[in-house]
Structure 1
């Protein structure tokens, strides 16, 4: 056997391509999760305007949602993401510190200048 499921995908993959790699030394602390997410945002792994889906990130990193939510709050305080109730968290477009920032318009998911 080659380790593939009946559909030709690696077993256990669920057909998803994880954006966030599990760390060699798994971290479940909010600070560790924050560092992983911040790096992914700054290096473009998650593009500007991209949605951060809690369930997918938690599964990719092998963590619970609690430290993830704390990390997302910290990223929002830093200005790297915006959380929109009932729509999720999105990476901010433009300069995160000072200068012009854009926001995501949830009904249409288009970028709107502030």
Structure 2
């Protein structure tokens, strides 16, 4: 059973990364009692889905998140305002990176839960 997804960040960028992902997922950041190296993102607009992706023979292994939206350009603009960078534009999605370079994708809705779990931010 997957317990949680953890975004690792170097100490120098920890606060910026926590703030970015809290904003990106419309979550409420909270310190974890007794574990100052963690910030918990309460009630994120997310699903517990996990997939494995073949990223090619020469790519560096990593995790990435997919963010669904019904307005890709508006979401890209919002995330850019939070500190993200556009890395690549594809016909149906946009590859972005967070403030320390972790990749994520912004794509149109395909999950059955989008209508009930998404939030307007």
Higher gyration radius (CA):
1
Larger strand proportion, structure 1 or 2?
2
Larger helix proportion, structure 1 or 2?
1
